[in-house]
């Protein structure tokens, strides 16, 4: 990257830096820089472009809708919004049937938290200790994986719940496996001790993505729901990255048969365009409305992104991309498991469907797994693969691997081949 290309940009990536090169265009599973470098996109943009980049049906929808109806006053309604609300409700189990549409996941989580606080008349919020729910006020207060230091006090009444990490279990049973039931009990014992009797909501991801692609153990979500309801709390599930077929089911919570009180969607709903949603029951919506629920944004319930959302649902259903995610996920996991058998720095491969985590561990060459992960990421980019590494202190470097649901078997295999070469080169001293 030329020295002056970022001269007018605010650096917003924390301690991270911008990727090298200037992206010129993208199509399908590939991103191309201005100098012709082709990168296989194993992050679906910002974990969002589940239909790949510039999907022809999304492009056609945007062209048609922007010439017909793009933006409205927040109190006006349009056919794309009404259709998307009805169609999303049809994909969900009862009683989730009421929807509102916003632009980002942070906005959706913010609205969900405000609704839960208004309906319960309480203010305390529980989320995981490695959570990421957004950078707006309430969402940031419920985010623990990053962004807490240096900004002053967050919203009062936010509590962290220990993460049920099966690879690095903080509590184990007699067999050495994660004792998540005991961990959950202890976590709520601490929350109860700190609470002032005003527990309103628990906001969690079914698979912690920024927290290291940690899949909740089977049974955990049901037990968490029971803990919430025993205390009069609402369970809010943030399916920004797991919703709409990415995990092999339309929604990740379906595996456990647990229906949340409030569901938030983003990223995958717009397939790369800014669209998010809050969904809840008629009972909760009615109580919120009676108490004057207020959440307005400039682009709330806008027709253009809603039209895109309808096209996303068209493609997901017609092309059975839930099944496709399972099939491609099995192929990806098989390839990564084979790498793990040859590269001892791979400590764990985990996840569901096409949301997969690969965790590196410390080794004698690089020492710290975070340093190794950063070096492997750089080498992958040099070889033509865009990967995303999570770097949380004490956890090691974990790749979040989330290719588009529309990618091909050959592209999955190519990504695994590049990662194999990057691991080999990095540890042999060929790069870094």
Domain 23-55+320-428, CATH class in plain words: alpha beta
- Does the active-site annotation cover 132? yes
Cα–Cα distance measured from residue 70 to residue 186, given in angstroms and rounded to the nearest whole number: 50
Catalytic residue among 400, 411, 425, 427: 400
- Does the active-site annotation cover 291? no
Strands 38-41, 385-386: pairing kind: parallel
Catalytic residue among 30, 132, 180, 366: 132
Q: Are 354 and 243 in contact (CB under 8 A)?
A: no
Q: Which of 279, 264, 274 is nearest to 309 (CA)?
A: 274
pLDDT band for position 390 (cuts 50, 70, 90): confident
pLDDT single digits (tens) 312-354: 999 999 999 999 999 999 999 999 999 999 999 999 999 999 9
Q: Which two tokens stand for residue 174?
A: 């007699």
- Does the active-site annotation cover 366? no
77-84 long-range CB contacts below 8 Å, 24 or more apart?
Answer: 77/301, 78/301, 78/303, 78/306, 79/303, 80/303, 80/304, 80/306, 80/307, 80/309, 80/310, 81/301, 81/302, 81/303, 81/306, 83/306, 83/310, 84/306, 84/309, 84/310, 84/313
Catalytic residue among 241, 249, 261, 333: 241
Q: Which two tokens stand for residue 207?
A: 């698979």
pLDDT single digits (tens) 63-73: 999 999 999 99
pLDDT single digits (tens) 372-385: 999 999 999 999 99
Average pLDDT over residues 291-301: 97
Task: Assess whether pLDDT exceeds 60 at residue 430.
Answer: no
Cα–Cα distance measured from residue 66 to residue 153, given in angstroms and rounded to the nearest whole number: 42
Cα–Cα distance measured from residue 375 to residue 431, given in angstroms and rounded to the nearest whole number: 8
pLDDT band for position 1 (cuts 50, 70, 90): very low
Catalytic residue among 110, 124, 179, 238: 238
Q: What are the residue boundaries of the structural domains of the chain, listed by start? A: 23-55+320-428, 69-318
Tell me, what's the pLDDT at 367?
Answer: 81
Task: Assess whether pLDDT exceeds 90 at residue 428.
Answer: no
Catalytic residue among 122, 227, 246, 267: 267
- Does the active-site annotation cover 267? yes
| Residue recorded with tokens 């691991």 | 423
pLDDT single digits (tens) 230-245: 999 999 999 999 999 9
Average pLDDT over residues 195-208: 98
Q: Tell me which architecture the domain covering 69-318 has in CATH.
A: 3-Layer(aba) Sandwich (3.40)
Catalytic residue among 124, 165, 205, 239: 205
Give me the chain's average pLDDT, please.
95
pLDDT single digits (tens) 115-161: 999 999 999 999 999 999 999 999 999 999 988 999 999 889 999 99
């Amino acid at each position: 990257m030329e020295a002056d290309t970022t001269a007018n940009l605010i650096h917003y990536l924390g301690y991270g830096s911008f990727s090298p090169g200037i992206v010129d265009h993208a199509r399908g599973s590939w991103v191309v820089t201005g100098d012709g470098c082709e990168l296989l996109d194993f992050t679906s943009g910002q974990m969002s472009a589940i239909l790949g980049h510039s999907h022809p049906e999304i492009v056609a929808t945007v062209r048609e809708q922007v010439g017909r109806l793009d933006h409205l006053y927040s109190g006006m309604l349009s056919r794309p919004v009404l259709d998307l609300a009805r169609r999303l409700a049809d994909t969900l189990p009862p009683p989730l049937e009421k929807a509102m549409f916003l632009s980002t996941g942070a906005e959706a989580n913010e609205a969900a938290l405000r609704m839960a606080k208004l309906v319960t008349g309480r203010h305390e919020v529980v989320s995981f200790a490695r959570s990421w729910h957004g950078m707006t006020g309430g969402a940031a207060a419920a985010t623990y994986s990053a962004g807490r230091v240096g900004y002053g006090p967050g919203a009062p009444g936010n509590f962290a719940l220990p993460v049920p990490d099966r690879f690095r279990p903080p509590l184990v049973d007699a067999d050495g496996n994660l004792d998540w039931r005991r961990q959950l009990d202890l976590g709520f014992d601490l929350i109860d001790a700190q609470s002032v009797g005003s527990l309103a909501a628990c906001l969690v991801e079914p698979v912690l993505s920024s927290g290291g692609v940690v899949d909740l153990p089977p049974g955990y979500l049901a037990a968490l729901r029971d803990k919430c309801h025993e205390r009069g709390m609402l369970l809010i599930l943030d399916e920004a990255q797991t919703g709409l077929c990415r995990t092999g089911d339309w929604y990740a919570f379906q595996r456990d048969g647990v229906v949340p009180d409030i569901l938030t969607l983003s990223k995958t709903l717009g397939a790369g365009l800014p669209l998010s949603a809050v969904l809840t029951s008629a009972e909760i919506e009615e109580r919120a409305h009676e108490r004057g629920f207020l959440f307005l944004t400039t682009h709330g319930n806008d027709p253009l992104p809603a039209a895109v959302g309808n096209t996303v649902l068209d493609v997901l259903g017609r092309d059975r991309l839930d099944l496709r995610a399972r099939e491609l996920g099995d192929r990806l996991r098989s390839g990564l498991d084979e790498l793990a058998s040859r590269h001892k720095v791979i400590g764990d491969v985990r996840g569901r469907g096409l949301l997969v985590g690969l965790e590196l561990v410390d080794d004698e060459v690089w020492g710290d797994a975070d340093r190794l992960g950063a070096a492997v990421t750089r080498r992958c980019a040099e070889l033509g693969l865009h990967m995303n590494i999570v770097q949380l202190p004490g956890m090691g470097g974990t790749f979040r691997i989330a290719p588009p649901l529309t990618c091909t078997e050959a592209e999955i295999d190519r990504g695994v081949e590049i990662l194999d070469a990057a691991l080999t080169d990095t540890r042999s001293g060929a790069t870094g």
